[in-house]
Amino acid sequence: MPRSEGERRSGLRTIRRVAPWLWPRGQGWIRRRVVLALVMLVAAKLVAVGTPVLYKGAVDALAQEGVPMLALGAIGLTVAYGGARLLNVAFQQLRDAVFAPVGQRALRQIALETFSHIHRLSLAYHLGRKTGGLSRIIERGVKGVDFLLRFLLFSIVPMILELGFVAVILAVVFDWRYLAIVAVTIALYVWFTFRVTEWRVRLRHEMNRQDTDANQKAIDSLLNYETVKYFGAEGREVARYDSAMEGYERAAVRTASSLAFLNTGQTFLITAGLIGVMILAASGVEAGVLTVGDFVMVNAYMLQITVPLGLLGTVYREIRQSLVDMGQMFDLLEEMPAVSERWDAQPLQVKGAGIEFRDVHFSYEAPREILRGITLAVPPGGSLAIVGASGSGKSTIGRLLFRFYDVTQGAVLIDGQDIRDVTLTSLRAAIGIVPQDTVLFNDTIGYNIAYGREDATRAEIEAVARAARIHDFIQTLPAGYDTMVGERGLKLSGGEKQRVGIARTLLKDPPILLFDEATSALDSGTESGIRRALAEAGRGRSTITIAHRLSTIADADEIVVLDHGRIVERGTHEALLARAGHYAELWNRQQAEAA
């Protein structure tokens, strides 16, 4: 099935995206290396097409019996033939060595740009994507660029040059019949290869889809290892993964079978062309028109072009696949963040860190509103607690404060500045959070705490660890602060992870603190100490606490109660209890459960 015009445009667009990395502005050393590599490429091909001529001369010289001078000439030509082969290899290796820094720099820059762009994408994008599938897109895209650079420049272009040089020699030294046979052979070979490869590309797409599906299932299962253990679902997970791998197996078998068909057809066409040319050459030798050296030279040229043609199917298929993989990666690069900075955004100027939500409405997906007319304020250095049932919109307020999403209506302000008018970096630098479920990097405890401020000293790290009541525990570990926490912190308990998260936020030392169920994973004894630490950390800072346990927020300056996205009650702990409304009902229920 021929490629559509849209696919061709997509392929050309992808190649144009790569070109600037090979010819970057202001980096003369890269451009010089590209030019030098191209010179080496042409030189290698000129030597390659000249080598059979030397071979022919040596054979013709050896065929003249009883003439010592010609025998000496044969030795010299043989030496020259060997030297030409060495020179051809030398030019190719020099070309690869000269171009290697260019290719690796391009790969590094592409990978860096993609990685950086992914981090700029909004939270909504990441919540809707599977990490395994996303990582595969990046991995295949970078590999695709690598393949395109190596094979398009150093396989396709050299092959075209070599075929052109051979065609000229056949037309000039021999006659049009040789050129016609070679041209027809190459045309049929290319046609057959492209048609079969188009079919194989579709099979390869299906194989990749099955591979991605299996990879996503494996990563999802391993990331939820603990849950699998809780439910004794190892067998279920293995069966689920095996089902995905079964689909991949079928697709891989079809792909391998199609490769066998392609190789068989290619061999038949090349062999037919070789036999046709050799019959012509043999007839010429018998007629005395050609020499034995001519016969050998024609054979050498046919065998010489067989090698690059033999790779054509693989190269074409891989280039097609590379363009698809790169296209997916470049589509990712063209994904626009749902939340972006204004062109004239200024750094947030934090004075007292007062926070205001002014008639805020928000919905993740219309028409269902999560927040409806939320108006609240945290004075500089004040504390606000937000309570409510699950799904009432409590955590959404925290996400809007970080500007992971933009409000549908209304405004969020810090010290009177609309957060849509300030840079995201300065906004998020001013806010520290301890989320309900702290996720840690697969690194040391010290690294995870220091993530709050990368230039922190060990003394500062230990100080915040003490404040978070985690230092004594760390000291009991054989490696101390150098203890690895495992994937997503699985080697630590929920409470230990939470305390590391608290220490990390304390180290960041922001003017605004957001605690989203920060003590939910702690036992009652530890919670009491952590509450004192958090109260101390929040002194002089503006603090928003999202909580389920009302006992943790009784000291807040103001408490707001959310219900279905609206504020239904607000006031101090004592005032809300006296009102005997939603808050009082929830408080009494929790006190009864605790008793």
Res 354: pLDDT: 93
Residue among 453, 423, 284 at smallest CA distance from 345: 423
* Weakest mean pLDDT among 382-386, 432-436, 503-507, 518-522: 518-522
* Weakest mean pLDDT among 249-253, 332-336, 476-480: 332-336
Per-residue pLDDT for 69 more than 50? Answer: no
Q: Of all helices (H) and strands (E), which one includes residue 559?
A: strand 558-563
Count, residues in the chain: 595
Res 2: pLDDT: 47
pLDDT tens figures, 511-535: 999 988 877 656 666 667 667 767 7
CA distances from 452 to 122, 400, 484, 522 (A): 21, 21, 17, 21
Res 68: pLDDT: 43
Class of domain 355-594: alpha beta
Tell me yes or no: is domain 8-333 CATH 1.20.1560.10: yes
Per-residue pLDDT for 289 more than 70? Answer: yes
Burial 257-287 (b: 16+ CB within 10 A, else e): ebbeebeebbeebbeebbebbeebbeebeee
pTM: 0.69
pLDDT tens figures, 201-224: 788 878 888 888 888 888 888 878
Res 1: pLDDT: 41
Q: Are 58 and 74 in contact (CB under 8 A)?
A: yes
Res 529: pLDDT: 66
* Weakest mean pLDDT among 183-197, 218-232, 511-525: 511-525
Strand residues in 351-485 grouped as ranges (E): 355-362, 371-378, 383-388, 409-414, 417-418, 431-434
Give the residue-averaged pLDDT of 159-183: 85
Tracing tokens 């034995």 back to the chain, one arrives at 292
The partner residues of 141 in beta bridges, in order of sequence, read: none
Res 358: pLDDT: 95
Percent with pLDDT over 90 in the chain: 24
The structural domains of the chain, with segments of one domain joined by +, span: 8-333, 355-594
Res 520: pLDDT: 66
Token reading at 116: 């950086």
Give the residue-averaged pLDDT of 105-122: 83
Token reading at 113: 């740009």
* Weakest mean pLDDT among 276-285, 404-413, 492-501: 492-501
